[in-house]
Amino acid sequence: MPRLSRPVLDGLGIVARLGLAAIFLVAGTLKVVDPAQTRIAVGAYEMLPPDLVGPVATALPLVELALGTLLVAGAFTRWAALVSAVLLVVLMIGVAQAWARGLSIDCGCFGGGGAVARGSTRYPQELARDFGAWLLALWLVVRPRTALSLDGWLRADQDTQRNRAGHLAT
Amino acid sequence: MGGAERGEHKRKRQGAQAVTAARGAGGSNRSVVAGVVIVVVLAVVVGVGLFLQNRNKPGDLPGTIPVAAAGPEYRVAVQGNTIVTGNPQAPVTIEVFEDFLCPGCGQFEKLYHQRLAQAAADGRAKVVYNPVAILNDLSVPAGYSSLAAGASFCAAEAGIFPRFHDSLFAAQPVEGGPGWTSAQLQQLGRDLAASDGFAPCVQAGADRRVAAATEIARRYVSGLRPDGRFSTPSVVVNGAVVDITDEGWLDKALSNARR
C-alpha cells in the first residue's frame, strides 16, 4: 500500500475534523433550542432513572456544542475526538438497546425524538450514521494532526521556540 | 519520499524556523493566547446554549393547580367511557375528544369552553366529553394524559367535573415538561370540595379505563373521517366530524338544531 504524503493525510484529517464538528454543532444547536423536546427524546430511550433525564437532556447538547467548537478550531483534537468517540458509542448503545427492546422511538439525534408510530423507526440508518461519525472520530484519535488547526499553529510555535533555544545554546 | 529525504526536509524546515526565531519574528506566547481564546469561545458557546435552553424551557408548574372560576352550572353524568353534560334530550349532540396535554385542546377550550358550558346549561345541547390519552409519552415523567383523563372521570363522579376540567385546561402543562401529579390533582379536588371518593379514585388511577376509552374513541372518530385519522381535539356534531378551524362551527351546530 503506498504511503500517503503528509499534506494528503492532513487534508483527510481536516475533512474528518470539520465533518465531525458539523455533526455535533448541528445536533447540539437543534437540541439546545428545543429543551422540552430534548427531554422527551432522552426520556424515550427509557435508559435513565427519571431524575437523571432532565440533567442529561440539559448537558448533552452543551457537550455536543463544546466538542463541535473544539473540533472546528482544531484544539485538543485528540482529546476532543476521544470524548466524541466515547459519546458516540454511548449514543449507539442507546439506539441499539431501544431497537433490541422493541421500543418505537426516533433517536432525536438532530432534534425531534421521542415515540414514533410502530413501523416508522429508522434504527439501522441511525446506527449507520452514528457509526460513520464514530469512524471520523477514530481517525482523529489515531492521527489528530490536521491542516489548519490550532494544534498545528501551537506545534509550529513550540518548534520555533525549541529551535531558538537550540540555536542560542550553540 | 525516502527516509533520508524526509530527514533532510525536516532539517531544512527546522533550520528555516530557527532563522525566523533568531530574527525575533516567532510569537512566543501563542499557547497562552490560544488557551485564553479557546476558554472564552467555549464559555460563550456553552453560555449561549444555556441561555437558549432556559429561554425555551417549559416554565415550572406552581405547587398547586389554580382553581378556575365557576361557569354556568350544567348537569353531568358518567356514561360508559364518556362524560355526558347538558340536556340529554337536546336536539344537538356535541361530542368533544380531548387529551389534557394536547396544546390544540387547550386552545380549543380557551375559545369555546364558555359557550359550550352555556349551551349545556341552557339545555340547548348535549355535550359529551371523551377524555382520551394519546400523548402519554410527551410529559416528563410520562403518563400525564392518562392520569388527568382518569381523574376527570373521578371528578364527574364526585360532582366537580366542570371546574376540574376547566382548571386543568386553564393551567395546562406544556409538552416535554412535568404534568400535574396525582397529589396535585387530589388537592384540586379538595379545593373544589369534591365528595370523599375523589382522592382514592384518583389515587387508584384509571389507566386501563382511559386506554379502552381512547381505543373506542379512535375507532369511532377515524371511522367518521375520510382520511381515517384520529387526533385531538376532535368534535363530532350529531354524528359528523366538524371542522373546528371554521370559527362558526358552534353557531352552525346550535342554529341548525333549532331549525
For B127-175, write each residue's pLDDT tens digit.
999 999 999 988 888 899 999 999 999 999 999 999 999 999 999 998 8
**φ and ψ of A126, to 5 deg:** -65, -40
Which of A29, A65, A160, A170 is most worth mutating to test chain B (most B CB atoms within 10 A of its CB)?
A160
Question: How many other CB atoms are there within 10 angstroms of residue B253's CB atom?
Answer: 20
CA distance A10 to A3: 13
The overall average pLDDT reported for chain A is 91
Q: Give the pairing type, strands B76-79 and B82-86.
A: antiparallel
Q: Given an 8 Å threshold on Cβ–Cβ distance, is A36 in contact with B52? A: no
The amino acid that residue A71 corresponds to is L
From chain A, pick out residues whose CB is under 8 angstroms from the CB of B176. Answer: 35-40
State the pLDDT at residue B190. 95
Q: Is the pLDDT of residue B16 over 70?
A: no
From chain A, pick out residues whose CB is under 8 angstroms from the CB of B175. Answer: 36, 40
State the pLDDT at residue A39. 87
Q: Is the pLDDT of residue B22 over 70?
A: no
Q: Which of A28, A34, A66 faces B42 most closely, judged by CB atoms?
A: A66
From chain B, pick out residues whose CB is under 8 angstroms from the CB of A44. Answer: 137
Q: Which three cell numbers stand for residue A10?
A: 492532513
State the pLDDT at residue B258. 54
Q: Give the tens place of pLDDT for each residue, B175-201.
A: 888 899 999 999 999 999 999 999 999
State the pLDDT at residue B255. 87
Q: Within an 8 Å CB–CB cutoff, is residue B6 touching chain A?
A: no
Q: Residue A91 CA to chain centroid, in angstroms?
A: 10
Which of B1, B46, B60 is most worth mutating to test chain A (most A CB atoms within 10 A of its CB)?
B46
Q: Which of A35, A40, A153 faces B57 most closely, judged by CB atoms?
A: A35
Q: Given an 8 Å threshold on Cβ–Cβ distance, is A164 in contact with B21? A: yes
Eight-class DSSP state of B64: S
Question: How many other CB atoms are there within 10 angstroms of residue B185's CB atom?
Answer: 26
Please enumerate in sequence order all residues whose Cβ is within 8 A of that of B165, keeping only pairs 6 or more positions apart, or say none: B129, B152, B155
Banded model confidence at residue A44, pLDDT cuts 50, 70, 90: confident
Which chain B residue has the Cα nearest residue A5?
B1
Side-chain half-sphere CA neighbours of B249 within 13 A: 20
The overall average pLDDT reported for chain B is 87
**Is the confidence metric ipTM above 0.95 for this complex?**
no
Q: Is the pLDDT of residue B116 over 60?
A: yes
Question: How many other CB atoms are there within 10 angstroms of residue B144's CB atom?
Answer: 27
pTM of the model: 0.66
State the pLDDT at residue B24. 43
Q: Is the pLDDT of residue B88 over 90?
A: yes
